[in-house]
Chain A
Amino acid sequence: MQEKRVVFVKPRTFWLAVAFVLPQLLVTAIFFFYPAGQAILGSFFMEDAFGTSRMFVGLSNYETLFTSGDYLHTLKVTGVFSVAVVLVSMGFALLMAIVADQALSGARVYKSIAVIPYAVAPPLAGVLWLFLFNPSGGAMTQLMASFGITWNYRLDGDQALLLVIIAASWKQISYNFLFFLAGLQAIPKSLVEAAAIDGAGFWRRFATIVFPLLSPTTFFLLVVNTIYSLFETFGIVHAVTSGGPAKATETLIYKVYSDGFIGLDFGGSSAQSVILMLMVVALTFLQFRFIEKKVEY
């Protein structure tokens, strides 16, 4: 841990220091450590629906999860959803950033438009796209009907999943665009120009110079987008499909919510929370390995 050479050390400054860290520590303890501990503890107990009695059941909550087709189905849905959201939003944003990185006229206007989705809350993004794909007369539904495609996400699980993927990817474009653009602008122009003088075309320069140099940004975004697709997309799923039809869009985070607050299965929901926490810890760890690497080179 980096430190200052000169600091306040006098004993009478101790209480001031305590007063300065205490608010943050208290909030963290009450709303972070205690609930996280409760989730871990609760995952080993079975509670009746009224919360009057609980019984220690060991790992049985976890066992139930991994042997039930339900949870495995949710894992699969989440996998498809996350991979699609990460690929679509990062791919789209990268393309826009590469093009916007050139000295084009109107670049500022393009950039201002590209940051708009960041301001839109996930459930609002969901509702906006829901309206476009509304089975009774939505603009996209009409368009597809003219191509002979029948669209009703309320009945067709795959279409519902596609709809939440589109909304979730759209929302994340701005974030990825800004980071890719910042990453691209940090690449020395002389390198790219030297390759151009040697006769390398645009795409060849991209594949051999730009993309490798962009890899720290790409890796960082992969982690952040995975976390986004796992957690922040709750609002989209909840507002647009409520996990349906027939659980076709039920992601892990939605299941934690629906088992805990609708199904009142606290043990099962806690076990799912713990699994999600482990996933975030793993992703955070990955992130730090990457930050260390970045510092080295």
Chain B
Amino acid sequence: MVERKGMHRIVSHLILILGCALVLLPIYIALVAASHEAAALTGDTPLWFGGRLLENLSSVLGHGLQAAGGAPVWRMLLNSLFMALGIAGGKIAISLTAAFAIVYFKFPGRGLCFFLIFVTLMLPVEVRIVPTFEVASNLHLIDSYVGLILPLIASATATFLYRQFFLTIPEELLEAARIDGASPWRFFKDIALPLSRTNTAALFVVTFIYGWNQYLWPLLVTNQESMYTVVMAIQRMVNVPDAPVEWNLVMMTALLALLPPLLVVLCMQQLFIKGLIEQEK
């Protein structure tokens, strides 16, 4: 280490502490608000905790917000979970197989397949939102889990990641497998799949967060309250017509909505960083 002077270290810590305080500020205030009753938040926001955290929690989970339709938040959390798991699982499944086919088979149109998948890189659903919605509605996917999940699972990045990884698997492994008479399916199942376990786990973490945090697509594709996801529903709770916003309950819902991805990021930090950084290589 180059810098050893005490002053430099103190300044460094100060910068980091200030930065972290700024990062934590909105979450701290949300937690404080979620622990008060609605009346305590009508004037100035209190800066220290109240005693109603659990009451607010159970009221939100069970009854939601009356002014915003009163759909219970536990249902939205469950919908979000289904959507996130579906998107993560679906992305991984179709990317894994597509990459395997492109790397390990020689068939007519292989280059074209690679190209077709690859050009979808980085073109987010937001850009082509109106026609994509029309497709979903023509296929009767509105208000269904399939409609929430399917349009979002095509992913060039994941396919590319698996392709890069398969290219690093030594050729000798396939040679040996073929000498032993292994079929392509057998090679996929017993060798390629287990070898890509760490990559898959890292990818799962990142795509789970991606899926959970979807907003525009669920907003369009769900009409029934029973299909709402928690991230999209928050907007209806803040923009209630002709009624004061129940900030304590809104903040409680917001915290519930950010908790699952937060736990994933914190508990699986190594995997998460690996997945994030490798995805962009």
Bound-state CA distance A129–B120 (Å) is: 33
- Give the B interface residue count (CB, 8 A): 107
What does the 1/0 interface line of B176-187 toward A look like (CB < 8 Å)? 001000001100
Within 8 Å CB of A242, what residues of B? 239
Within 99-148 of B, Cβ neighbours of A (below 8 Å) are at 100-107, 110-111, 113-114, 116-117, 120-136, 139
Per DSSP, chain B at the interface is helix
A277 and B265 in contact (CB under 8 A), knowing A7-B105, A28-B117, A139-B45?
no
Bound-state CA distance A103–B175 (Å) is: 46
Bound-state CA distance A115–B209 (Å) is: 13
Can you identify 10 A-B contacts, CB atoms within 8 angstroms? A4-B166, A14-B105, A17-B107, A32-B128, A96-B16, A118-B276, A121-B214, A127-B234, A131-B29, A239-B239
Within 8 Å CB of B191, what residues of A? none
- Is residue B25 contacting chain A, with contact meaning CB distance below 8 A? yes
Within 252-297 of A, Cβ neighbours of B (below 8 Å) are at 253, 256-257, 260-261, 266, 269-270, 273, 276-277, 280-281, 283-284, 287
Residue of A nearest to B151 (CB): A31
How many whole Å from B231's CB to the nearest CB in chain A? 5
Bound-state CA distance A202–B2 (Å) is: 9
Our pick among A7, A110, A266, A284 for the contact of B121 (Cβ within 8 Å) is: A284
Within 8 Å CB of A266, what residues of B? 130
Bound-state CA distance A34–B117 (Å) is: 14
Is A121's CB under 8 angstroms from B106's CB? no
List chain A positions with a Cβ less than 8 A from chain B: 1-2, 4-9, 13-14, 16-21, 23-25, 27-28, 30-36, 38-39, 42, 92, 95-96, 99-100, 102-104, 106, 110, 112-125, 127-132, 134, 136-139, 142, 170, 173, 175, 178-179, 182, 192-193, 196, 202, 205, 220, 224, 227, 231-232, 234-235, 238-240, 242, 253, 256-257, 260-261, 266, 269-270, 273, 276-277, 280-281, 283-284, 287
Bound-state CA distance A121–B76 (Å) is: 15
Is B113's CB under 8 angstroms from A25's CB? yes
Is A4's CB under 8 angstroms from B135's CB? no
A7 and B106 in contact (CB under 8 A), knowing A32-B154, A114-B23, A261-B220?
yes
- Is residue B6 contacting chain A, with contact meaning CB distance below 8 A? no
Is A39's CB under 8 angstroms from B98's CB? no
Is A122's CB under 8 angstroms from B213's CB? yes
Within 8 Å CB of B185, what residues of A? 16
